[in-house]
Structure 1
Amino acid sequence: MKIVIINYGAGNIQSIMFAIERLGYKAVLSNNPAEIKAADKVIFPGVGEASSAMEMLLESGLDTLIPTLEQPVLGICLGMQLMCNHTQEGDTKGLGIFDVDVLKFSSKVKVPQMGWNNIYNLKSDLFKGVSENEYMYLVHSFYAPDCAQSIATTNYEVEYASALQKDNFYGTQFHPEKSGDVGEKILGNFLKL
């Protein structure tokens, strides 16, 4: 199985690579459109700020490639947010895969939300064998509101989508690669889709 992690300079890449290795697979880092298209599974990571990350996608032409991919694609954290229509972070237009706009948590709560929080309302083979209310590791100041494409929910000031799915596209706001055994199970489920 060929697993490609999209390398566009905004990544939590090492921890994802190690998690995939622990599951018995190998992943390659690439920003080469032909290699990404030929992959069986694509992971779209992201750590950092939305507008500069989107600029890097635009410069490499990956902004037009990613929405056309037909294999399972997993966006993680900022990767998931960039797959939405728009984010308030840097007033950034997203890839428009998920039909939702990303909002900033209000000043009433500590941002970023950093640490462990539970996920519930699980709906998808991504969560096969995962119990309701398991704890996942999150670090974020912006969130996708609960919407028709939500496949997991978390509560922090408001209920929001901690995972999204549309067709072959999946996104998690949490970091499965940093969420212990349960996070690894979710990554493994993705690799088996």
Structure 2
Amino acid sequence: MVKVAVLDYGSGNLRSVQRALEHVGADVTVTSDPYEAIEADGLLVPGVGAYAACMDGLNKIRGPRIIGQRLAGSRPVLGICVGQQVLFDKGVEHGVETQGCGEWQGVVDKLDAKILPHMGWNTVDAPAGSEMFAGLNDDDRFYFVHSYAVQSWDMPVDEFIAAPRVTWATHESARFVAAVENGPLWATQFHPEKSGDVGLHLLRNWLGTLA
């Protein structure tokens, strides 16, 4: 049974994530302990609420260092919702700019949409060859609840490194990053733990990369 640490930094639906992971067969520990977070087979970084508050909580437990140390050793990390957003360079909310973990280039800002938050079920446009969405259908829907997202992808292409697979979604006319697969670093703007059977399937796909 693979061991997954859910990073507890004061933000996120920790118990619902824990239950979903246990349902698909993981041995789950909710922890803020750096050793447990680094040594687990997989690390899940949740996140709910304001970008700045999430980064403040992460910084208090040295979350960016934990994430960076895992990735330096090619050890899998999965970010969910604001747990995806904080992996980018920075977030801008209400005119306040907050530095993120900087794993990916990009800015999290307010969706260009009249109806916010974007709350409910949406399809996504996954790229060919996606491991995250393997076995799922184009018309499958995932649960979103957010007002901010990354709306452009500007990562440079490196001919020696496989390009990240980026999944997109659209709310009204606003197109935004719904998920990213980048080697051991995966993330989703939606909540797999709230997305029923398709979300559980996605979590099984992630666990399959941990063995």
TM-score range, shorter chain: over 0.9
Residue correspondences, number:
192
| SS of corresponding position for 1:127 | coil
Tell me which residue corresponds to 1:111.
116
Task: Give per-residue Cα distances to partners, 1:114-154, cap 9 Å, x unaligned.
Answer: 01111113342111101123210000000112425452110
Look up the match of 1:84.
Answer: 88
Structure with greater helix percent? 1
Decide which of 147, 150, 153 is 2:168's aligned counterpart: 153
Distance 1:47 1:3 in 2: 19
Equivalent residue for 2:136?
130
Q: Deviations over 1:83-140 (max 9, x none)?
A: 111111241111011221112113x421110011111133421111011232100000
Superposition map of 1:156-171 within 5 A: 156=171, 157-171=173-187
Contact 1:122 1:132 in 2 (8 A): no
Match of 1:37 in 2: 38
Root-mean-square deviation (CA, aligned residues, Å) is 1.4
User: Which of 148, 173, 177 in structure 2 is aligned with 1:142?
Assistant: 148
Fraction of identical pairs, as percent: 32
Give yes or no for contact 1:120–1:134 (8 Å, CA) kept in 2.
Answer: no
Paired with 1:153 and 1:145, the residues of 2 have a C-alpha distance of: 9
Aligned counterpart, 2:16: 15
Runs of 4+ off more than 4 Å: none
Which runs of 5 or more structure 1 residues have no equivalent in the other structure? none
Aligned residue in 2 for 1:49: 50
